Amino acid sequence: MIGAIWGMARHDLAVWLRSPAAIAAALLPALGMGVLVAVLTNSVGQQLVALVVKSEGRFAHRMARIIRGDADAYLLEEMTEADALRALGEQRVAAIIVVPENFDEAVAKGNAAVDLYLNNVDIDLADDIRRSVTRSVAEFDAPQLGLLGELSGPSAGTLLPNPYRVAIAEHDLRATNVSFLQYQVIPIVVLIVISIGLLGTALLTARDFERRTAKLMMLSPAGRLPLVVGRLLGGALITFALVTPLVALGFLTHYIPYCAEDSEAPLWLTLLLSGPCGWILPVPTWTHGLALFGLFAAVTLTTVGLGTLLGIALRDARLVTMTGLNVSAYMFFLGGGFTTVAFLPDWIQTVSRFVPTRYAIDGLRQALFYPDLIGFERDITVLSFCAVASCILASFTLARAWRRG
């Protein structure tokens, strides 16, 4: 029996690896999403801003130094007023910050202004810049409202009075920040699992009906059960074969010497390695490692079962591809791909409770980025239930469908 199961799984693996269109169908959309995240990483956080300092006074210099110092918020370029206006018109900068000629005199009178000329094309971009410039300007009168003050001012026991009468004592939950790319790549990995597990198994199942090879399998002396189990095992193996190297790469990138920030590698090498170096996963403890494995196994089996059901229901490779791509996209976004479900409106959170990928993404983020496993029990229980239910249902349905040809 084990030989028959293994034979069926190997057969499916071989068929799948010989189908470039199927591999492309499963991988290309997920890789497209990956490119999207990589591009987004470049565009979040910092904005291109021009700085025009029209005064030579000491306060104007201090104001400019504060703005230049906030490198986390701006990609700053100092220009003349005319150049800055041209750059704003040509969209080379999103805003211009102007420290006016009479700045020092106005400061002495207590009514100085820093002008912000803003391309408020959409509210997300405009608010980012408004927040950043407001902080920089506030720092002039209240130095502890700057990032350094937030992190190591009142929170470290040093409180300086300020005219706004409120200061910030920030306490971060963890020692290091997780990069935007790291945080968002987790859903991409889950999307790859969904795409390969769901589409791969669905296409294999539909192919049997299109080519009428299902009847041949029924005539095999191996029996129905080993063949059905072999199909599910094959789908799971395909998924593991493609996802394992990707996750392993996330851990191995720690050992690439040129990924360190102070690396003296040439620019071309730094640029070439920026993709892999951005894909660094924190090395988990053994308990968190086990949790990761459990979550991957459960979500893989869930998608393999669902893929089999999809293939039986549609029995047409083209329909399976389109349906699979739609289903994968919904499972990805409603499960928290590119978003955090807890941050969405209540009704969407309610809908997402019925989407298994939500538990996979939540669980994987918890296991990789948090020191404890709060909520893991719920995530693994739901996913395990989905895996068992979809596999049992898929087995019965597939056996019956093959019998009827």
How deeply is 30 buried, as exposed, middle or buried, from its count of CB atoms within 10 A (0-12, 13-18, 19+)? buried
Binding positions for another protein, 49-78, rule CB under 8 A: 63, 72-73, 75
Short-list 341, 346, 330, CA closest to 363: 341
Give the tokens for residue 78. Answer: 């100092």
Closer by beta carbon to another protein, 30 or else 229 = 30
Residue 212 CA: distances (Å) to CA of 133, 137, 148, 208 = 67, 72, 69, 6
Closer by beta carbon to another protein, 87 or else 301 = 87
Rounded CA-CA distance 378/364 in Å is 13
Please, are residues 217 and 244 in contact by the beta-carbon 8 Å criterion? no
Q: How far is the CB of 396 from another protein (least distance, A)?
A: 25
List phi, psi (to 5°) of 50: -95, 140
* Nearby residues of 330 by Cβ (< 8 Å), 6 or more positions away: 355
Q: Which of 80, 91, 213, 287 binds another protein (CB under 8 A)?
A: 91
Strand-pairing partners, residue 97, are: 51, 116
Burial code of 282-305, b = ≥16 C-beta within 10 A, e = fewer? eeeeeebeebbebbbbbbbbbbbb
In 3-state terms, what secondary structure has residue 128? Answer: helix
Q: Which of 2, 82, 122, 286 binds another protein (CB under 8 A)?
A: 122
110 is a site residue for another protein (CB under 8 A) = yes
Short-list 171, 145, 144, 147, CA closest to 160: 144
Closer by beta carbon to another protein, 14 or else 35 = 35
Q: How far is the CB of 62 from another protein (least distance, A)?
A: 10
Q: How far is the CB of 386 from another protein (least distance, A)?
A: 20
Give the tokens for residue 62. Answer: 């201090």
Q: How far is the CB of 211 from another protein (least distance, A)?
A: 14
Closer by beta carbon to another protein, 300 or else 352 = 352
Q: How far is the CB of 234 from another protein (least distance, A)?
A: 20
Q: What is the x/- site pattern for another protein, positions 316-355, by CB under 8 A?
A: -xxx-xxx-xx--xx--xx---xxx-xxxx--x-------
Q: What is the x/- site pattern for another protein, positions 224-263, by CB under 8 A?
A: ----------------------------------------
> Residues touching another protein: how many (CB under 8 A)?
119
Closer by beta carbon to another protein, 359 or else 402 = 359
CA atoms within 13 A on the CB side of 356: 30
List phi, psi (to 5°) of 49: -135, 140
Closer by beta carbon to another protein, 91 or else 220 = 91
Q: Calculate the dihedral angle through the C-alpha atoms of 257, 262, 267, 268, rounding to the nearest 10 degrees.
A: 20
Rounded CA-CA distance 244/400 in Å is 33
Closer by beta carbon to another protein, 259 or else 317 = 317
Closer by beta carbon to another protein, 189 or else 229 = 189
Distance in Å from the first CA to the final CA of the chain: 23
Q: What is the x/- site pattern for another protein, positions 11-50, by CB under 8 A?
A: ---------xxx-xxxxxx-xxx-xx--xx-xxxx-xx--
Q: How far is the CB of 91 from another protein (least distance, A)?
A: 4
Closer by beta carbon to another protein, 121 or else 389 = 121
Q: What is the x/- site pattern for another protein, positions 261-280, by CB under 8 A?
A: --------------------
Strand-pairing partners, residue 53, are: 99
Q: Which of 145, 238, 281, 364 binds another protein (CB under 8 A)?
A: 145
Q: Which of 61, 150, 224, 265 binds another protein (CB under 8 A)?
A: 150
Q: How far is the CB of 5 from another protein (least distance, A)?
A: 28
120 is a site residue for another protein (CB under 8 A) = yes
Which span sits near another protein by CB under 8 A: 76-84, 92-100, 208-216, 384-392?
92-100
Q: Residue 165 corresponds to which amino acid?
A: R
Closer by beta carbon to another protein, 9 or else 186 = 186
Strand-pairing partners, residue 34, are: none
148 is a site residue for another protein (CB under 8 A) = no
In 3-state terms, what secondary structure has residue 77? Answer: strand
